[in-house]
Structure 1
Amino acid sequence: MMKKLISFLFLYCFAVSFGQILKPIDTADYPQRKELIRAFNFNNEVFIRKVKAQYSGKTGSDLAKFYKEFGTDFEKQISNKDFILRSDYDVSVKSLIARLRKNNPQIPQDLKILIAKDNTPNAFCLLDGTFVINMGLFSWLDNEEQIAAVIAHELGHRIKQHTLKLLVALSENNQQDKSTVKTLKSVSENANETAFNILKNRMYKKGVEKRSQEIEADSLGYVIFKNADFKKTEFINALKRLQDFDTISPRELKVETYKKMFNLPQQAFKDKWLKKEDFSLYNYNFYKEKLSKDSLASHPEMAKRLEKLKKIFPELNPGTESLKPSESYLSLRKAARMEILPNYYHSEDFGLGIYVSLQFLQDGEDEKYYKTWLGKYFAKIYEARKNYNLNRYLDRIEPKEQSESYQQFLNFMWNLSLEEIKNISDFYQNKES
C-alpha cells in the first residue's frame, strides 16, 4: 500500500508534454530471458554450495533454502518480463559503474545490469552481482551523478555482504528462539506474552541491524563515489531527492477534474459518485499498538542519514544546487516518464493507474496519450468488477495511511456501478455508440 501511495509523488515533476503515443519499451525476446534464467540459476547453485561449505548445520541449510526460494521467485519475475534486458539504460549504468571503479579496486568485476519496470526510485544488488535499477530512479533523480550515488550505496551493501550477514543472524536467532519456546510449553502463566516478547525483541533487533547497515552503506558508498571523482555534493543531493520522495505529500486531485473527465455525452456526471464514507466516529486510539513502527523500520530516516554523513565527512556540509543533466540523461528521463503508465499496467496496479492518469490530465499533459490509458485501465477495472475480484486491483480506504485526495478517489471508484464503469471504459476507448 505505502509503496503505491509514494509513487504518486512522481507527479510533482512532470512538466513535459509529448505529442505522440509512444510504444512501451520492449523487454527482450524469449531466448534472452531463457539465457538470463540459466546463468542466474547456475550462479545461484554455485553460491549455495559455497554458503553450505562456509556455514555448517542448520544455518547452512536455512541459507540454502532461502536462496533456492529466492531463485524461484526471481525466475518468475524474469519470465513475467519485469525487467528490460536491452536498452540505453544498460549502457548508461555500465558507464557509471566503470567510472566508480576508478580508484576503487574493491568493486567486483562480475557486475551485471537489469532495469526493472518499477516506478519507485530504488535499486538493489543480487548475490551474483546483478544490479537491479528501477526505471523510477531516472524519473526522479536530477542527473546521472545522482544515479551513480545510489549505485555506490548499493555497492557498499554488496562489499559488506549485508544481506548474507542478516540472513545468518536470522537463522541463528531462529534456533535460539526455538529453544526458548520449548521451555514455554511447560509454563502456563504468561506464556503467550513471553512468546510475543521474544518475537517483538527479534523484530526490533533486526530493525536496528538494518538501520545500522544503511548508515554503513552510505559511508562506504560516499567514499567510493568520492574516489571516482564525481562531484561530492551530488551524493548528498541524491539522498535529498530520495528524502523528497518519502516526505512530500501528493497534490490534490480536484473535484473539477472528476466533473470534467466523467461528464460524458451518454452518461452525465453524478454528484453521488463523490460521496465519502464516514470514518469520523471510529476511534483509532482504542487499540494500543503493541509494536513500535519506528523500532520496526528497516531504514533510518533520511534526515538522520544525512546528518550522520555530514558529521563523518565535514566537506559535505555546504549545500549546492544539483548539476545540470546531460542531453543523454534527459532522453532517458523522458522515456522513463513515458513508461510510468505502462509500468503500472504491467504490474496490474489498475486503480493507481487511473489516479495517476487523472493527475496528468489535470496538469494539462498530452490528452490523447493519457485518455487512451484511462480507457485501458477502466476496461481492466470493469473486468475485475464483473468477476468479483476488484479488491485485487483497487485499494480499500484506509484513512490513517492515505491522503484525503486518494481517499476521495477510492470513494469515487467504489461508488461507480458496473454499467457506469463500462460506459467510461467504452468512451475513452472510443467504443461509445
Structure 2
Amino acid sequence: MTRKLIALWCLFLSVMGIAQLYKPIDTADYTQRKAFLIKFTGNNEATIKKIKSQYSGKTLSELSKIYKDFGTDFEKQVKNKDFIFKSDFETSIQSLIQRLKKNNPQVPQDLKILIAKDNTPNAYCLADGTFVINMGLYGWLNNEEEIAAVISHELGHKIEDHSFKTFLKIIEQDNLDKITVQNIKSTTEKRSQSQNQKAFDIFKNTIYKKGVERRQNEMQADSLGYVIFRNSDFKKGEYVNALQKLEDFDTISPRALKIETYKKLFDLPKQAFNDKWMKKEDFSLYNYNFYKEKLNKDSLSSHPEMSRRIDQLKKTFTELKTSVTPEKPSDLFVTLKKVARMEALPNYFHSEDYGLGIYAAMQFLQDEEEEKYYKSWLGKCFSKIYEARKNYNLNRYLDRIEPKNQSESYQQFLNFMWNLSLDEIKNIADFYKTNETIAKAN
C-alpha cells in the first residue's frame, strides 16, 4: 500500500491543462482482447510443454503449477479490462522498442505491448515476450528517453531469464527448508524454545538469501539494460536520470491534505461539517514491528537502494559520472502525460481502490484542478464506499491505519473516513452525485 500512496504524488506533479470534458479511455476492445488471449494462452502452453521436456518430478510439477496459475490469473486481468489496446501509449512504446533493437540483436524480435491501467511507474516483461507498461510511468518520468531506460532494464531481466531462474531457486530452497523443518520436528514431540528459534532462523535465512539474489538480479539488469540503451541512439545520461526519478518515487511522501480542504468539500447544505470526523486514534502504544524488527531490513529489501544501484553503474560505466539535463519531451509524450494524469481516478475506480480514489480526488480539488471532473469521481467513489459500509465489507476498499507505513496526511484521511457514519457517507455521495447530474445537464 505504501507504493500505491507514493504513486499519488507522481500524479500531483504531472503537467496540467486538459479539458474538463475529458472522457476516460474507451476499453470496448473485445476483439483485440480476444485475439491477445488466444495467442497468450498458446504461448503459455508452449512454455509449460518446454518445461516438461527439460524437468521432471517435483520440480516439474511445481514449475508447471506456477505457469498455469500465472496464466489463469493474467487471463482474468485481461478479461477484467486491466489493460488497454490500440492506444497512443502503445504507439509510443513500439517506437521506443524499435530504437532499442538498433545494434542490439539480443533484444527479442516478437515483443508485444500491453498498457496497464496502473498508476505506479513500473514495467515488466512476461515469459512469452509480452511487455507490460504501467500508465503511471508517463505520469512520473520526464521524457521518452527515461521510459526507454526503464524498458531497457526490464529487457535485461528478460534476456537473463531472471524470473524463471528465481522460480527454480525458490522451489529448490523450499524443498530444502521442508526437509530441515521436518528433521527439527522429529527430534521431539514437544517443540522447545530453541527449536522455535531454529525454525525462525530457517525462515529468516531463506528471506535473506532471496533478498540477496533479487538485489543481484537488479544490478545485473541495470548493467545489461544500460548496454542496450547505450548501443541505441538515446542520450546516455538519461539512463541514470530515469533511476533517479524512480528513487524519488521510492522515497518521497505525498503532500498533506489541509484541514481546510476537508471543510470546503464536506461542509454541505444538508450536512454541516463535524469536527469530530477529524478525531485521530492513538496508536502510540501499538507495536506493529514486533517481527519485522527481528529481521535485518537491508537484507529484506527486494530492490537495492537506488542510490547504490546508481553508484554501481557509475563505477562500471565511467561515462555516467557526468550528469545531464533531461531532454525536452516530445509533444506526444506531453499529451500522454496529461492523459495518464486524467486517467488516475478512472484507474483507481477500476481497481476498486475507492478510498485512494477519494484521497486523490481531494488532492486534485485542493489544487483547484478540473473541479467538475474530480467532484464527479468523488461522488462515484463515495457511492461505492457507502455500498461497502452498508454490506459490512468496507475493509476491502478502505485501508486500516498503519502508523509505521503511512504518511500523517493519509492517516488523518483514514481517520476521517472511518469516523463517518453510514448516513453521513450517503449524504456526501448523494450531494456529489446530484452535482454531477446538474453539471451534465448544463
Range class of TM-score, shorter chain: over 0.9
Q: 1:372 and 1:233, CA in 2 relative to 1: closer, same or farther beyond 3 A?
A: same
- Please report how far the alpha carbon of residue 19 of structure 1 lies from its aligned counterpart in structure 2 after TM superposition: 3.0
1:312 correspondence with 2:320? no
Residue by residue, what CA displacement relative to the aligned partner does 1:120-144 show, whole Å, maximum 9, x if unpaired? Answer: 0000000000000000001111101
> Residue 133 of structure 2 corresponds to which residue in structure 1?
133
1:35 correspondence with 2:35? yes
Alpha-carbon distance between aligned partners in 1 of 2:49 and 2:290, rounded to the nearest angstrom: 51
Alpha-carbon distance between aligned partners in 2 of 1:170 and 1:279, rounded to the nearest angstrom: 37
1:389 correspondence with 2:393? yes
Alpha-carbon distance between aligned partners in 2 of 1:283 and 1:202, rounded to the nearest angstrom: 25
Alpha-carbon distance between aligned partners in 2 of 1:408 and 1:232, rounded to the nearest angstrom: 43
TM-score, L = length of structure 1: 0.97
SS at match of 1:185: helix
> What is the identity, as a one-letter code, of the residue corresponding to 1:79?
K
CA contact (8 A) 2:14 2:140 kept: no
Residue by residue, what CA displacement relative to the aligned partner does 1:292-313 show, whole Å, maximum 9, x if unpaired? Answer: 3321221101111111111101
> Residue 100 of structure 2 corresponds to which residue in structure 1?
100
SS at match of 1:324: coil
Give runs of aligned pairs for residues 281-360 of structure 1, distance below 5 A: 281-282=285-286, 289-360=293-364
Alpha-carbon distance between aligned partners in 2 of 1:296 and 1:96, rounded to the nearest angstrom: 34
CA contact (8 A) 2:103 2:232 kept: yes
Alpha-carbon distance between aligned partners in 2 of 1:136 and 1:244, rounded to the nearest angstrom: 14
Residue by residue, what CA displacement relative to the aligned partner does 1:275-330 show, whole Å, maximum 9, x if unpaired? Answer: 11112344567777332332122110111111111110111111121101000111
CA contact (8 A) 1:28 1:84 kept: no
Structure 2 alignment gaps of length 5 or more: none
CA contact (8 A) 1:28 1:85 kept: no
Q: 1:285 and 1:110, CA in 2 relative to 1: closer, same or farther beyond 3 A?
A: closer
RMSD: 1.7
Alpha-carbon distance between aligned partners in 1 of 2:287 and 2:43, rounded to the nearest angstrom: 52
CA contact (8 A) 2:17 2:338 kept: no
SS at match of 1:429: helix
Alpha-carbon distance between aligned partners in 2 of 1:107 and 1:300, rounded to the nearest angstrom: 25
Structure 1 alignment gaps of length 5 or more: none
Alpha-carbon distance between aligned partners in 1 of 2:325 and 2:77, rounded to the nearest angstrom: 38
Alpha-carbon distance between aligned partners in 1 of 2:11 and 2:41, rounded to the nearest angstrom: 38
Alpha-carbon distance between aligned partners in 2 of 1:62 and 1:15, rounded to the nearest angstrom: 46
- Please report how far the alpha carbon of residue 389 of structure 1 lies from its aligned counterpart in structure 2 after TM superposition: 0.7
Alpha-carbon distance between aligned partners in 2 of 1:313 and 1:114, rounded to the nearest angstrom: 32
Alpha-carbon distance between aligned partners in 1 of 2:121 and 2:104, rounded to the nearest angstrom: 25
| Counterpart selection for 1:251 from 246, 250, 255 | 255
Alpha-carbon distance between aligned partners in 1 of 2:311 and 2:158, rounded to the nearest angstrom: 23
- Please report how far the alpha carbon of residue 7 of structure 1 lies from its aligned counterpart in structure 2 after TM superposition: 1.7
CA contact (8 A) 1:253 1:359 kept: yes
Alpha-carbon distance between aligned partners in 2 of 1:300 and 1:28, rounded to the nearest angstrom: 40
Q: 1:308 and 1:365, CA in 2 relative to 1: closer, same or farther beyond 3 A?
A: same
Moved more, 25-34 or 309-318: 25-34
Q: 1:343 and 1:158, CA in 2 relative to 1: closer, same or farther beyond 3 A?
A: same
SS at match of 1:25: coil
Alpha-carbon distance between aligned partners in 1 of 2:20 and 2:8, rounded to the nearest angstrom: 23
- Please report how far the alpha carbon of residue 55 of structure 1 lies from its aligned counterpart in structure 2 after TM superposition: 2.3
> Residue 195 of structure 1 corresponds to which residue in structure 2?
199
> What is the identity, as a one-letter code, of the residue corresponding to 2:100?
L
TM-score, L = length of structure 2: 0.95
Give runs of aligned pairs for residues 14-413 of structure 1, distance below 5 A: 14-188=14-188, 189=192, 190-282=194-286, 289-413=293-417
Alpha-carbon distance between aligned partners in 1 of 2:85 and 2:297, rounded to the nearest angstrom: 37
Q: 1:80 and 1:284, CA in 2 relative to 1: closer, same or farther beyond 3 A?
A: closer
Moved more, 178-187 or 344-353: 178-187
Alpha-carbon distance between aligned partners in 2 of 1:229 and 1:376, rounded to the nearest angstrom: 45
Alpha-carbon distance between aligned partners in 2 of 1:362 and 1:355, rounded to the nearest angstrom: 11
- Please report how far the alpha carbon of residue 51 of structure 1 lies from its aligned counterpart in structure 2 after TM superposition: 1.5
| Counterpart selection for 1:428 from 429, 432, 436 | 432
SS at match of 1:33: helix
Alpha-carbon distance between aligned partners in 1 of 2:62 and 2:292, rounded to the nearest angstrom: 35
Alpha-carbon distance between aligned partners in 2 of 1:132 and 1:260, rounded to the nearest angstrom: 40
